[in-house]
Amino acid sequence: MNIVIKNLGLQPYEATWQAMQDFTDHRTESTADELWIVEHPAVFTQGLNGKAEHLLHATDIPIVQTDRGGQITYHGPGQTIVYVLVDLKRAKLGVRALVTALENSIIEYLQQLGIDSSARADAPGVYVNGQKIASLGLKIRKQRSYHGLALNVNMDLSPFKTVNPCGLQGMLMTQVSDYVAQENLPTTEQAGLVLSEILKHLINPSVD
């Protein structure tokens, strides 16, 4: 079954989270999987394993307690997010295999931009020169996934200094614009579309 890619643009975090839950709760065995490309206004999201001490300073940016795995992270304009709404049983994917597909899609996309990156066994996400360029967080409900990946493209990284990103003390964040000349820099929409096409074929190699 083909995977539907939807480009939703700038959307409020909580409304999008609710839409992901609704989609997952109401989908059937015949519902096509979907990838949602979005950006969010500035927001911190705290995962199920989140610990209060990873918020280092008071902030005016809202903090949302969410139901994905992982710790606290930041979303904001200039960051490409791809939410992954996949029936794992139908796709014959385990959770670890899905995480690997997310990481590999980012690594492959960054390679196209001339950026060498890698994953870490001890901390999900993608890293360039020891700095984190992309974060992952998933929720699996009845063998169906939602939430997904966030790739820093061209954003204000300073809010990350307010937290231990994803619970990693002292972790420095980086972004595509640190490695790609301005005239070659993709928009968040362009990044999301290419990334989603790569991910689509990693999740289901048989799709067109």
- Catalytic residue positions? 166
The reply to whether 90 sits in an annotated binding site is: no
Using alpha carbons, select from 80, 76, 79, 78 the residue that is nearest to residue 41: 76
The reply to whether 47 sits in an annotated binding site is: no
Q: Measuring CA to CA, how many Å separate 55 from each of 15, 63, 91? A: 23, 10, 37
The reply to whether 93 sits in an annotated binding site is: no
Amino acid at 66: T
The reply to whether 35 sits in an annotated binding site is: no
Our measurement of the distance from residue 161's CA atom to the centroid of its chain's CA atoms, rounded to an integer in Å, reads 19
The reply to whether 16 sits in an annotated binding site is: no
Please report the sign of the dihedral spanned by the C-alpha atoms of residue 150, residue 152, residue 155, residue 157: positive
The reply to whether 135 sits in an annotated binding site is: yes
Q: In angstroms, rounded to a whole number, what is the distance separating the alpha carbons of residues 205 and 21?
A: 26
The reply to whether 74 sits in an annotated binding site is: yes
Using alpha carbons, select from 13, 67, 15, 5 the residue that is nearest to residue 37: 5
The reply to whether 27 sits in an annotated binding site is: no
Indicate the annotated binding residues for substrate: 68-75, 135-137, 148-150
Which residues carry a binding-site annotation? 68-75, 135-137, 148-150
